[in-house]
Every structure is written in structure tokens, then in C-alpha cells.
Structure 1
Amino acid sequence: MADQSTEEKVVDRSLMDNLSEKLHGHHSSSSSDDDDEKPTTISSSINRLFGRQKSVHSLIGGGKAADLVLWRNKQTSASFLVGATVLWILFEGMEYPLLTFVCHVLILSLVILFIWINSAAFLKRSPPHIPEVVISEDTTRHIASELRVEVNRAFSSLHDVASGKDFKKLLLVVAVLYVLSVIGNCCDFLTVVYIGLVTLLTVPVVYEKYENQIDSVVHKVLLKLKEQYKVFDAKVLSKIPRGPLKEKKLS
């Protein structure tokens, strides 16, 4: 009996030793894997465009608007793009006035509904169900509140730019306004809106599909621009004579 108990103890110790070795090996391998993954994740986050850490879907704002822009529902996005293209062709290519178009659409819709409802009894068909559209007070308040927040945010940004608090934002706003002025000089407002819609429906989805390749190329381009700026700074900017700095008076 004593021999059996000693043998059982030896077997239990050997099993415990094997388990501990496996656990240590697993921890060491997982820690090494984590160490291998850390540089890749860090480098990938550094190489992202503008140092972003969120996905393209969340940057756009998420929700149904982001789904539309990123073609989550291809039928809806394609219908939106085709509809915008048809409207642009009507207004720009055929020079169809907007007010005339709206009036003709309303006239045609009202006439079709009137004939359909009155002929349903003779044709023994059910008349179309026309839902009653009523905008609630809560919806109006919510829209007004959201609009107020966005307008105040825009005014706050313009105030910061005009007050000279953010020079980078000033340059960005000036560049955007200048580009818009050049585009507006070349084409009218409706064409600018159509170009913006097409860009919004193409650029984000292409970037999301090839974001690794685009981020890599942009990262290399930015590195080359920084190198060129260093050379320009060493050869030109550093040689510009500057006036002597005034020494601060000791209090």
C-alpha cells in the first residue's frame, strides 16, 4: 500500500510538472507574440493618414449616412448616385429650371393619384394608401437644436480663426475658400454640388478598400517632403539674416 501511494505521488508530481511547463511555454509564446504584434500595431497607427486611429466609417459619423457613402447597401448608394446624375443632366445639360421641374413633378403626381383613386371603384381595385405627413413638435425641436449646435460650432471656429488663435486653421480655411472660389469661377453652384456628391460617394469607399496601400504611399510622400523641407531650411531659411534679439531685462 505504501508503494502504491508513493507511485501515485510520483505520477501526480510528473503531471504537475508537465502542466507547469506547458503553461510557462504558452505564456512565453503569447508574450513573444504580443511583443511581435506591438511594433506592427504601433507602426500601423503611426503610418495611418493624419495619425488617425478610428475607422473610416466612424470618422464619417457612422449611421445611415456613413453606410450610404461607403456603399454598405449598394442598391441604395447606386440609386442615389444615378438620381443625382439624372438631375444634373436635366438641370445643366437640358437647362431645365428647378422651379419648373418641381411644379411638373407635383402636377404629374397629383393627376396620377386623382385618376387612380377615382378609377379604383370602377376597376374593382383598392385605392392607394396615402400616408398623412405630420411633423411633430419634438422632431422640430430636435432638428432646431442640432442645427443650432452645428451653427454655433461653425461660428466658434470662425471666431478662433479671426482672433488669431489658430494659425493652422486659418491657413486651412483660406485654402479651402480659395479652392472653392476657383471651382466656382469655372462652373456654377449646381455642378459644384454634383462634383461634391460624386466625390463623397467615390473617394471614401476607395480609400476604405485600399487604405493600407494609400496610407503607405502618403507616409512615404510626407517623409520625402520633410526631407526636402530640411534641405530647404538648411540652404535658404537658415541663411536669411535676422536682427539681434533683444535681451530680456532681469527683474
Structure 2
Amino acid sequence: MAVDDRFAELNPRTCVVLGGRGFLGRSLVLRLLKLGKYIVRIADSTQSFELDPSERESLLSHAISSGRASYFNVDVRDKTQIVKAIEGSSAVFYLDPTDLNTNDFCSCYLIIVQGAKNVINACRECRVKRLIYNSSADVVFDGSHDIHSGDESLACPSKFEKILSDFKAQAEALILFANDIDGLLTCALRPSNIFGPGDSELVPLLVKLAKSGLGKFIIGNGDNMSDFTFSENVSYAHICAEEALDLRNAIVAGKAFFITNLVPMKFWEFVSLISEGLGYQRPLTKIPARMAWYVFLLFKWTHEKLASGSSNFSELAHYIQLASCTRTFNCVAAQRNIGYSPVVTLEDGVALTIESFSHLASDLPLARYSDFTEESKAHKLLGGGKVADILLWRDEKTTFKCFLALIVLFYWFCLGGNTFTSSAAKLLLLVTVILYGYGFLPSNIFGFSVEMMSFPSQISDTVAKDSVATIVYLWSLGVQNIRTLAQGEEWSMFFKVTVSLYFLKIVAQSFTVMIGMALAFAFTAIFFYEQYESEIDGSVKVLFNILKEIMALLTRNLPDSVSLLLCNHETFQPDDRPAGVKQTR
């Protein structure tokens, strides 16, 4: 990487990147070094500075060796360490540190909020001229309400669903409030959904969900829009803000600005691009957002009650909120006041991100080229018709209507407290009244046209004769069977009827429970099997192999006479016979 000599100066400015070894910090450090007009101090909480293999023989390594870049170990909870790092600098870029433990809220508060206070006080003490804070678009998001082209006039919500967003909002307010005190000019940037090479949150989470099988699901209707921001564009926005503050632009000082790639897109389309680019299945199955949230709460409660150790549930909860809400932002203020515009397009950013995460690609060599629209085994077993489409939730509205209708019938016949005959009579009476009332409806009601039902004008003689013949045949067959049973001569008939009636008695005792279980199984278990077809089939195969090994082990310990008998009946292959047993002819 060559330094851009067009911006090189004889007296470069010294700047500090707090959090310079984090995901965004590395991108900002490289961009500052490329400009050639900054001496960069990299400050982070990492104890020792070590270059990654990809950074060796890079612009950063050459800058370290030449003195254009240096490293400081800084804990923002200790103001003296901050002072040591920023003393003599003219600008400070304050980004998130690398060791932020999101499960420890007390530590997060000390680092984010108290750390912001320490950075402000250190900047004032060292007479730093400019402080740019990397905030987040989450500071105006309450976790439930959509944001359509939101601008800087949006107020922070009174209650945050994500505690880290609350801390970020507090830190942002402190930094903006410190503007123009002791000569310090401040501003904050609010990027939305940052992604890029080295991403430690969004892309790894998508890969984790894809590997677990949960990446197949679309939360909500899948039409919600979101703004995404490539990391290099955020870095460029920080430099634009620093240059605007250097000109003492009053419109910029003390203000916050939204930063995006300026190209809103469907959230699930972005997820699909990342998933398919890394060889995983794109999300196809839609589930209601409320259902996903309830499942998450149940899983969280179960984990807290039964499991030991901590799990980052806040990250997953925030993902569900982002995945089901629209969040787009207006960046006109950033374009007009700090001169920001994306330097990397969204398409190029996605391609660069996928390339950098190739080590997380699917292990299946054909996954990238698989045809995920092929019919599943469950769909084929159900016949591939309308029943399969309903039970596999191909159309959520149709499936829900059918499920609701079956629930009503289940309650009507099984839970209503009436006999089957009276329930059927009441249902027929209700249908008759509804149909008769429907016939009185006018063709137009308040401007809405009412379509009348179309019925065949007459039933053909062939259909009528076939229907009557079938009824007569069934009646005659029943009478004949009863007559044969009454003569007391057919023992086979007697046993068949007796066993059938006894079985019917057993079934009738738990008829309601069985019907309810069948309904739940039909609309849930089959759908679940389709989503985890390969996993379930693999587990069954493993279980079958284990049982086979157990049976083989048992047969080796059987007496020789029993083993010889089994071998004569060819129950086992010759290789499975115990030692000492001769093959008989």
C-alpha cells in the first residue's frame, strides 16, 4: 500500500486512535496512514502490540518501524494512561475498545460511560483540539418501532431494549455536551450496521446462525429495510469530521451525524448475500417475529434455569429486533456538513467481506452450488400437493386459516361437551343458516361487490347413480356381515369384529387427546423435520448403527446352539457367527 503523496505534509499532525486495534480502529489507522499527513498513535487495552500475519510487511508495519505510528497500552478507566497517550496530539478518535465484555454490565458502564468522561477530561487537560466519537445508530432505536429515513432530529428513546445502546447514548451526550469547553471541539458519528473485514459481531453471528440451522428462518415478513455501512466508509467519515472540525465549522461542532452506505436494502437480502457467499443456505422459511421472540425468551429462561455458564443473549435479542424492524437513516446532514460520501459501494463491500471471511465458509464443498429450491423429502412423502404446502407452511396465511378451522372443529366436536351426532347436527344447522343468509346478500354493499357462489346447474345421472349405488352397496355389505355374525358360524368374523370394537373402545377413551396430538404433530413436527432433514436422518442412521453394533455384541455372547440356530435361518451374515461355530449345509 502506497502513501498518498498528494496529502503529505512537511509537518504532519499527530492524532490518537483510542481503540485502534479493534475492528473499526484497524481500518481507521490504515486510512490515516495512507493519507500521509498524520502521525498515528494507536491506543488500545491490549497489553502488547503484535502484528497479525496479514499485517506483516504492510503499511502498518513500515509505519511502526519508521516512527509514523506507535502503540500505547491504554485502559480508558485510568485517566493517567489516556493523558500519556494523547499528550501533544491535536485530534483524538474515540472508538470501542477490543476487550469489551458485553455480559459484564458493570464493566461496560465503566469503560463506555466513565471512559468517555475520562477521555473528555484528558483531552481538556492536554489541550486537544478535536475529539470525534464513534457512536451508533442504535442510540435512537427502542427495539420495536420502525425508523424510516430517520435524521438527526430523532430523540433518544426513554427506554432502551439493549443496555449497551443506553451506555453509548450516555457517552455520546457527554462528548457532545463537552463541545467548545477549553477549546475542545467535539462531534459524534452514528454508523448503522457496520460490516467489513475483521468484523467481530454481525458477520460471525450470521455464520453461527447458519451453522446451527437457524439461518434458514426469516423473522417477520422479510420486507423490512435496513441501512448497512462498510467499515472503510466509517473510517473515511471520521477523517471528514476531523477535517471539518479543523476548519472550526460551527455546524459540525457539538453535533451527531448518521453514516450509512446511502443504499438501503432489505435486511434479509443482505443476510442472503453473506450466507450464500460463504456457501450456506439463504433464509427461506418465514416465521412471525412475535413467535421468534417468544422462542428466544423460552430458550433464555431454560438456559438460565438448567445450564451453567454465561451466554451472550443480548446479542441474539438485538439481532431479532434488527431482523424484524425497518431502520433506514437520512445522511444528508453528513453529506452537506462534513463532505461525506461512501468511498466503497455496498456491492464491493459485501464482496470484500465475503473474501476476508473465507475461513468461515461452509465445509460442504457443494454447498455453494446446491439447489435449495429442490423438493424436500417431507414434501415428497406428503405427496407434493396442497396438503404438503399447507403442513409445510409454504403459504403462512393459508396454513393459518386451515389450522384455525381445524382447531374450531376440534373444539366443536371434542371439547364442546356434546355427542358427535348433536355436534354434527348443530354444525350442519349453522352452515345451513349461513348459506341461506348469504343468498339474501345484495350484489353491492357500501360500494363493495359481493361475489355470489357458483354451483353446477344439475348433477349428471351418472354421478347420481354411482353415489346411490355406493350407498346401497355399503348398506348391503353391513347387513350381510351382521347376518353372518348372528348365525354364530364364522369364528374369524367374530374375532375381527371383537378386536375392532375393543380397539375402538381404547381409542375412544383417549380420542380427544389423540386428535389434539395429531393436530399439533401435523402442523409442527413435519415442518420441523423438513428444516432439519439431514440432521435428523443422520441421527437416525447413527442410532441404527449403534443398535446394530449392540445386537452384534449380544449375538457373540449367545450359546453356540442358539447362534447355530440363528445362522441356519440366515438371520446373520457368516462373518457375524461367533468363533467356533461351524457353517452347516
TM-score range, shorter chain: 0.3 to 0.5
Structure of greater relative contact order (alpha carbons < 8 Å, 6+ residues apart): 1
> Which protein has the bigger helix share?
1
What is the TM-score with the length of structure 1 in the denominator? 0.48
Q: Which has the larger radius of gyration?
A: 2
What is the TM-score with the length of structure 2 in the denominator? 0.23
> Which protein has the bigger strand share?
2
